[in-house]
Chains A and B, each alone.
Chain A
Amino acid sequence: MLLLARPLWDRVVAHCLDGLPLEACGLLAGREGKVLEVYPASNAARSARLYTVEPRDVLSADRAARAAGWDLIGVWHSHTHTLAYPSPTDVEQAPDPDWHYVLVSLSDVEPVVRSYRIIDRQVQEEPVYTEP
């Protein structure tokens, strides 16, 4: 389960829309499945098919999260033309089994936000709530 309050949900989606036509990405901070802050990042891959969170943005997000007493608990990125489901590349490169992997699909009129756990390359969707 991921709790992503509506104002944070809106910031995630807005960052993805701002990134078009490229994929957009960012990091989630919080604890125990509750997102308390989001950190929009640059896509160092500058691609409509791939993303790489700019390494300096990972460092700065980690520092900000730690300073607030949180951890980085996940990452989000957009799929500009495909469904909100992890690609084989997403699964292959998922860095942390404890993270939440949020996908934002922009392939339809309304953005679709879904979250997954990826453990040992097994993908499991989890519900996303915008309020407790």
Chain B
Amino acid sequence: MVIGKVGFGSATSLGRACGTLGGAVTVEVRLPNILRPMAAGEPIVNAEGDSLREVFDDLVRQYPALRSSLLTPDGEMHRHLNVFVNDDDVRYLGKLDAKVGDADTVTLMPAVAGG
């Protein structure tokens, strides 16, 4: 995997606020235990993209078994998944339209709920 550095690596918050700052960047994606078997057992993988949608697309390209855990058949974010860009819940950043920047960390966690 090529680490695609761009010139605004430290300005990730600004990047999310302003949109795309350059070409696709590489982000670190942290996987919960439940998803690791679908990603060759890796706890942390890299993926490219300027938005969460592109990051998910790249994840699915690399690890097709992840698709049904990340996305609904309609291509929306799976409701049993919590996703954070650094400390920010993507539900408040536009979900799959959330912008990501170089050096960002995307963390996937299971939604934990019941009755």
A residues neighboring B (CB under 8 Å): 23, 25, 27, 45, 49-53, 55-56, 58-59, 62, 71-72, 75, 77, 86-90, 92-98
In whole angstroms, how far apart are the Cα atoms of A130 and B34 in the complex?
27
Tell me the complex Cα distance, A93–B78, Å.
13
Q: Is the CB of A56 within 8 A of B114?
A: no
Tell whether, in the assembled complex, residue A53 and residue B113 are in contact, meaning their CB atoms are under 8 Å apart: yes
Contact yes or no, B34 A55, CB < 8 A: no
Q: Tell which of B33, B87, B91, B112 touches A52, judged by Cβ atoms closer than 8 Å.
A: B112
A96 contacts B115, C-beta separation under 8 Å = no
Shortest Cβ distance from residue B29 to the other chain A in the assembled complex, whole angstroms: 14
A55 touches B111 (CB 8 A): yes
Q: Does B109 contact A (CB under 8 A)?
A: yes
**Considering the chains assembled together, what is the distance between the CA atoms of A27 and B111 in angstroms?**
12
Chain B contacts for A59, CB-based, 8 A: 82, 84, 87, 107, 109
Count contacts between A and B, CB distance < 8 Å. 68
Compute how far the CA of A86 lies from the CA of B112 in the bound complex, rounded to whole angstroms. 14
Cα A36 to Cα B112 with chains together (Å): 20
Q: Which residues of B contact A23 (CB under 8 A)?
A: 115
A58 smallest CB distance to B (angstroms): 5
The reply to whether the CB of B32 lies closer than 8 angstroms to some CB of chain A is yes
Residues on B with C-beta less than 8 A from A25 are 112
Cα(A75)–Cα(B114), bound, Å: 10
- Which single member of A27, A56, A72, A93 contacts B113 (CB below 8 Å)? A93
Residues of chain B within 8 A (CB-CB) of A98 are 33-34
* Known interface pairs A86-B114, A87-B115; A93-B34 also in contact (CB < 8 Å): no
Q: Which B residue sits closest to A74, measured CB to CB?
A: B112
Cβ contact of A90, chosen from B34, B84, B115, cutoff 8 A: B115
Contact B82 A94 (CB under 8 A): no
Chain A, interface SS category:
mixed
Bound state CA distance, A59 and B85, in angstroms? 11
Task: Beyond the given A45-B113, A96-B34, please list 20 additional residue pairs across the A-B interface where CB-CB is below 8 A.
Answer: A50-B115, A51-B113, A52-B112, A55-B89, A58-B109, A58-B110, A59-B87, A62-B32, A62-B107, A72-B33, A86-B114, A87-B114, A89-B115, A90-B115, A93-B111, A93-B114, A94-B114, A95-B34, A95-B112, A98-B34
Contact with A along B25-48 (1 / 0, CB 8 A): 000000011100000000000000
